[in-house]
Amino acid sequence: MDEVDELKDELKSTRKKLSNCEVQHVQAAEHQKHVNDCLLEIKDSLHGIKVAFDGNGRVGIKTRIDRLEQVEKNRKWTMRTLITAMSAMLVKMISDVFHTGNH
């Protein structure tokens, strides 16, 4: 009888372990579903960021930044040209004052 009781106890323990494994399997499946849902959200967010960056048929951030850089480059060139022209005019005016005063 001892052997039968031992087998019954072992069977009971095995069933309990199997039940725990089933619970863990269900929990793991639920966790995997949650992870998959999160990955889909991330993928959608990344797609939205890519569309905003590239524009997808409209002017995107990349194009706008390029345009701003071009405007800034042109502004710097214009300012340098104006400063150079104004400096040249100032030098000419000073030169004319001294040349006029000497005659």
Residue by residue, pLDDT tens for the chain (103 residues) are 688 888 888 888 888 888 889 999 999 999 999 999 999 999 999 999 999 998 888 899 999 999 999 999 999 999 999 999 999 999 999 999 988 866 5
- Stated pTM of the model: 0.54
Give the count of domains, the chain: 2
pLDDT of residue 3: 86
Alpha-carbon distance 53 to 46, whole Å?
Answer: 10
One domain for residues 36 and 11: yes
35 and 63 in a common domain? no
* Gap between the Cα atoms of 23 and 21, Å rounded: 5
**Please, are residues 55 and 62 in contact by the beta-carbon 8 Å criterion?**
yes
The confidence score (pLDDT) of residue 103 equals 58
One domain, residues 75 and 51? no
Q: Quick one: 52 and 3 in the same domain?
A: yes
Q: Where in the sequence is the domain holding 33, given as residue range(s)?
A: 1-57
Number of helical H runs and strand E runs in the chain = 2, 0
- The pLDDT assigned to 91 comes to 96
Residues 67 and 85 in one domain: yes
